[in-house]
Each structure stands twice: as structure tokens, then as C-alpha cells.
Amino acid sequence: MSERATRVVAVANQKGGVGKTTTVVNLAAGLALLDKTVLVIDLDPQANATSGLGLERSPGVSLYPVLTGKADVADIIQPTPYANINIIPAEIDLAGAEIEIAREENHLAVVRREIDRVLTAGVFDYVLMDCPPSIGILMTSSLAAADSIIVTMQCEYYAMEGLSVISQLVQQMRESGVNPDLTIEGIVMTMFDVRTRLASDVVSEVRQHFGDLVYDTIIPRSVRISESPSFGEPVLFFAPSSSGSIAYKALAQEFIKRHSLPV
């Protein structure tokens, strides 16, 4: 496989409500503030990353018409109100893409093909894909297109359940040759509640199992984080000095550091 100058990272977990979208939006903001150019691809028909970055959902503006050959990917990329962050938005129609893609021969490769077209322009340092919370064709095709995966986990019981499913998917992708180099590059623990013993226990348990795979940065549960999506703003801009903002800035720094290390 050819080396890409742009790193394509899918943020995934087939569970909903584990902080995937929040992490995509705020990691993008953190990277942007560090002068990295980021393309967010919203692959969830719920379009929470799209609205969280201040865009309205609009019919025909998503990967859906691209995947069905009705639009060019370059025309679908939208600026956001934030410097260095562009987005391929989602819309509810994206749900229909599952069926359309399934009809294509070699269907797991179609998202990859379109992303590769974007990458040849070479303007993005990172592509962050916000995956839907179910194992469907959109999620598997995203993983087929990714260089690596970040799994977000809520600091609660059963947090690790999601990971075994993704690990199996990764193994299948590697062994079948769909994406031979795919790796889980990191686990980000989210919604950490400092007041509970449970949260600390879960973090220790996950660290015990997965060691260095777990990011040092832990994202706290924060009211500011949960408020910011309704304003269409990443928490880094909505409440810059809040604990959530500080944590996501640290995550962006750790992310860059991890990617700069020779693999």
C-alpha cells in the first residue's frame, strides 16, 4: 500500500454515546489550533459532527451522492466556521448509502477510493472519520479506508465489550487483505467522573489490559462539553478554559506526538 502524507484515522465503537463524535469534533479543534489542517468526515446519518461544527444539514451534501456517483468528492468538502477544519457533512440520506454501496462490486473499497481522491490534493494533515454507532457497511467501509482507529470508551462497566468486536473486525480486514495495515492506534477514555471510584477502576482495568494503547489523556465528564454541541461549537472555542477544553487540547498534543514517533 502506498504511503499517504495524510493520516486517516477512524474514531469508532459500535456502541453509541461513548464520545466518538465529541472526540472527533474536539480533537479536530485541538489539531486546528496547533496549525494542523483537518478534514472531518461525518459518516453518521445523525450528523452530530456536522452540527457540532456549526453546519446545517443540507440535502445532497454528504458522502452519499459521492458514493452513488452523483457528485464529486471535491465539491462536497465544506469549510467550517473554524480555521483549518473542513468537513464532508452527513445528512439523513446517508442511511440509504448502506444499500447503495452494498450493490457495488468491491463495496468495502468505495469510501477508500473517494478518500484517496481527496488525499491526492495533499492539503490535509489529518482526516478524522466519525463512524456511526452500528456495524453496518458505512462503518466497515470507513475502517477499510482508515490507516488506523481510535476507540473511545466511556468510563463505565462493560466499557471493554465494544473493543473485542472492533478487534475482530480489524483482524478480518487485515487477514482478508481489505486493509492489511489497519491497526487500533489508541483508546481514549471519556466521560471520566472524578467523584466516582468506578471511573478510576475502569481506567485501571482498561490500562491493565491494553497498556500503552490507552491515551494518557483522559477526558473528564464536563457540563461544558455537553452544552457545546447545541451552539455548534467545539468546547475549545465555546468554553476555552474549561476542564473539557484543556483535556482535548492535551489529547491533540498527545495525538500529534504519537504520530510523530517512528512506528
Ligand X SMILES: Nc1ncnc2c1ncn2[C@@H]1O[C@H](COP(=O)(O)OP(=O)(O)O)[C@@H](O)[C@H]1O
Binding site for ligand X (CB under 6 A): 16-22, 48, 133, 190-191, 219, 221-222, 225-226, 229, 244
* DSSP one-letter code for 253: H
Binding mask 4-33 for Mg ion (x = CB under 5 A): ----------------xx------------
Using alpha carbons only, what angle is made at residue 208 by residues 207 and 212, rounded to the nearest 5 degrees?
50
Residues written for the chain: 263
Q: What is the nearest approach in angstroms of ligand X to the Cβ of residue 171?
A: 22
In the bound state with ligand X, the residue whose beta carbon lies nearer, of 73 and 90, is: 90
| β-strand partners of 39 | 86, 127
In the list ligand X, Mg ion, none, the entry touching 17 (Cβ below 5 to 8 angstroms by class) is ligand X
Q: Which does 245 bind (CB under 5 to 8 A by kind): ligand X, Mg ion, none?
A: none
Q: For the segment 47-76, give every residue that binds Mg ion (CB under 5 A).
A: 48
Decide which of Mg ion, ligand X, none touches 19; Cβ closer than 5 to 8 Å per partner kind. Answer: ligand X
Contact between residue 151 and residue 163 where contact means Cβ atoms under 8 Å apart: yes
Q: Taking the complex as a whole, how short is the minimal distance between the CB of residue 152 and Mg ion, in angstroms? A: 9
Query: Quick one: cell of 112?
Result: 477508500
Q: What is the DSSP string of 124-151?
A: -SEEEEE--SS-SHHHHHHHHH-SEEEE
The type of residue at 209 is: H
Q: Output 73 or 247, the one with its CB closest to ligand X.
A: 247
Alpha-carbon distance of 206 to 117, in angstroms, equals 37
